Amino acid sequence: MSGEAATIADASAAGHGEAMSEPHCPRLGRIIDALGSTLLRRVAGPVTTDRPVGSVSIYDPADGVDVAADGLLLGVGVADSATATMLLAELRRRGAAALLLKAPMDEAVRQAADAAGITVLEVSRATSWEQLVFLLRTLIDLPERGDAAAEYPSGDLFQLANAIGALLDAPITIEDRSSRVLAFSSGQDRTDEGRVQTVLGRQVPAQYQRLLLEQGVFREIYRSREPVYIPALAEGFKPRTAIAVRAGEDVLGSLWAVVSEPLTEHRRRAFTEATKIVALHLLRDRAGRTADARPRAELVARLLEQTGNPADTARRLGIGGRSVCVLALELDAPDEDCDEVARAAEIRRVADALALHLSALHPSAAATMLGEMVYGLLPLPGSCDGESTAQRVATDFLERMGARTVLHIGIGRAVGEPCDIIRSRADADCVLRILRERGRGNRLATVRSVRPDLMLACLAEAAELDDRPYGDAVARLLRYDAEHRGDLTGTLAAYLEAFGDITKAATAVHVHPNTFRYRLTRLCEVGGLDLTDPDARFEAQIDLRLHRLHRSRTAAEPARSH
């Protein structure tokens, strides 16, 4: 190991002597230092930085306080001092480590924190709770990787980022190939808006990724073995220096430093040497995640395919007794010249990213791949609207994946029994099919949001089995339109959708109301249709929607066949 690498390793290992004696209990001070003022700060209670921290819990008013000794409690939704004071008293009784809140602290809460001997940390309002949960669990779990951590004198990634930042005198981020932030150093508040958004979101924002792609920055970084200096991309931005982290020819990620000018030769060497130590961490973490994720993915597949005992499988996954929602994801239909290997790699990347995203929300959440489909199991809080919660989670995931990954997500119903998870999967698959039929621009939907289309799909299947897809009236109109190149069915659809408002319907099809009245009379003659009969109107509207569904499916089939 060279001098620079040794210096980094020594710096990042500093202060580890005490922590190594209790590898399963990181200290509160280490967590505060790692997250820094960008995410949270101590505002009340004692400065117990050497306090061990063993878990993270979320306060749910419906379930009461459930926090372990030496645990952190996240006061989600706590906005009044009375509730905060109550929580502090309960945390003292349970021997917890700290309370995390977003609301400003008043004097009553500060006094209660001092009396209870509980540290209160204020969370930045720009930080989502799910992001914070992931960060905290990452910091707590890192020492739990066992004795393998002792093989690397560099400590965890956050300490390593701080050590590299100290040598370069620059704020550092360690990112993976998808521009997700794995760790960051202190001092991010001295950078620029782009870096702050990156740290808070744990992902380089989509607009900045596009800038980097358009200017060929990623291509240059991944081709070079040396640090690459990147001038300010836009007004208000500071320059960067970045370098790829490699294992042989495999690019694992990258290191990014916010700088005011190109690095000196000495610092360039230090930055280059640092990638070797970071690579060891990323390889170790990749191996650990793969070993942990594989059996969980297999269990998820069992539930989704209803093989084995669903109750036992759910228990092994840690979701027994909880409501669960299935998310089904697929990439946009491939182009004719699509690289199959690249597409398979992209599907794997989506599956890994989804597993990471869901694990930040619940430790028992999991994801798996079945063919070209990616599925996620999301455990839900007991007192929430399951579909709405899953929709927020899916929307956030789409935003984090960015515009360059064209994904569609179908969300199934919330189910309470393991044996019903297959029904939630069937829902999610049907929702995806409807999104495909609607075409580009439709990226996410729930069962509730597409219920009319789902009902039509059921009717379409029943009609196909009966070999009589349309009623007599609509069937006659369709034959007439085909033979005479007319659009009487379009006139009928406009009339029904306008609830019989001639003026509105005529405007929709861009004709004069008198012309529309003539066409309406003509279609009633051709189709033998009595529009004064509510049952006839209802049957015609269903038949027209079934016809529209059939056309959209026929048009979608060639794209899916590639």
CATH number of the domain residue 496 falls in: 1.10.10.2840
423 and 496 co-located in one domain:
no
The C-alpha angle with vertex 456 and arms to 453 and 461, in degrees rounded to 5, equals 130
**Rounded to the nearest 10 degrees, how much is the dihedral formed by the CA atoms of 175, 246, 165, 140?**
60
136 and 161 co-located in one domain:
no
Structure tokens at 432: 């995806």
280 and 350 co-located in one domain:
no
pTM: 0.43
**How far is CA 70 from each of CA 48, 52, 98, 116, rounded to the nearest angstrom?**
12, 6, 8, 14
Domain count, the chain: 4
Per-residue pLDDT of the chain (562 residues), as tens digits, is: 455 544 444 444 443 333 333 445 678 887 776 665 446 778 888 877 778 888 888 887 877 788 888 889 998 888 888 999 999 999 999 999 899 998 777 888 899 999 999 999 888 775 667 657 766 776 676 544 333 333 333 347 888 888 898 889 899 999 988 788 888 888 888 888 888 888 877 788 878 888 888 888 888 998 898 999 999 887 888 999 999 987 655 678 899 999 999 999 989 988 988 888 887 677 666 545 544 556 778 888 888 988 888 888 888 888 888 889 999 999 887 766 666 666 777 787 788 788 878 877 787 888 888 888 999 999 987 656 677 888 888 888 887 776 667 789 999 989 989 999 999 998 899 888 888 877 656 688 888 888 777 777 666 666 554 455 566 788 888 888 888 888 888 899 898 888 889 999 899 889 999 999 999 999 898 888 888 888 888 888 888 877 776 676 665 554 444 4
22 and 134 co-located in one domain:
yes
Q: What is the pLDDT of residue 55?
A: 86
323 and 439 co-located in one domain:
yes
CA 17 to chain centre: 37
Determine contact, residues 327/376, Cβ cutoff 8 Å.
yes
Strand 98-101 relative to strand 119-123: parallel, antiparallel, unpaired? parallel
Q: What is the pLDDT of residue 257?
A: 94
Structural domain contains residue 245: yes
What CATH number did the domain enclosing 41 receive? 3.40.1390.20
Among candidates 418, 453, 462, 459, which has minimal Cα distance to 432? 453
Q: What is the pLDDT of residue 337?
A: 65
Cross-strand bridge partners of residue 99:
73, 120
314 and 436 co-located in one domain:
yes
What CATH number did the domain enclosing 239 receive? 3.30.450.40
Determine contact, residues 198/181, Cβ cutoff 8 Å.
yes
276 and 318 co-located in one domain:
no
139 and 163 co-located in one domain:
no
Residue 15 neighbours by CB under 8 Å, 6+ apart:
30
Report d(CA 471, CA 535) in Å as an integer.
12
Range of the domain at 505: 468-561
Structural domain contains residue 2: no
Determine contact, residues 404/389, Cβ cutoff 8 Å.
no
What is the side-by-side strand order in the sheet with 228-230?
Answer: 181-184, 172-176, 250-258, 240-247, 228-230
Residue 239 neighbours by CB under 8 Å, 6+ apart:
229, 230, 231, 232, 258, 259, 260, 261
Structural domain contains residue 298: no
Structural domain contains residue 401: yes
Determine contact, residues 485/492, Cβ cutoff 8 Å.
no
439 and 310 co-located in one domain:
yes
Structural domain contains residue 294: no
Residue where the block lists tokens 């100290």? 166
311 and 223 co-located in one domain:
no
Determine contact, residues 423/415, Cβ cutoff 8 Å.
yes
Instruction: Tell which of 415, 450, 485 closes a domain.
Output: 450
Q: What is the pLDDT of residue 512?
A: 93
446 and 310 co-located in one domain:
yes
Instruction: Tell which of 109, 144, 179 closes a domain.
Output: 144
Structural domain contains residue 462: no
Structural domain contains residue 63: yes
Structural domain contains residue 313: yes
Instruction: Tell which of 119, 144, 169 closes a domain.
Output: 144
Q: List the alpha helices (DSSP H) in 142-264.
A: 157-168, 193-201, 206-214, 217-223
Among candidates 103, 57, 71, 62, which has minimal Cα distance to 84? 103
What CATH number did the domain enclosing 435 receive? 3.30.70.270
86 and 121 co-located in one domain:
yes
Report d(CA 209, CA 253) in Å as an integer.
15
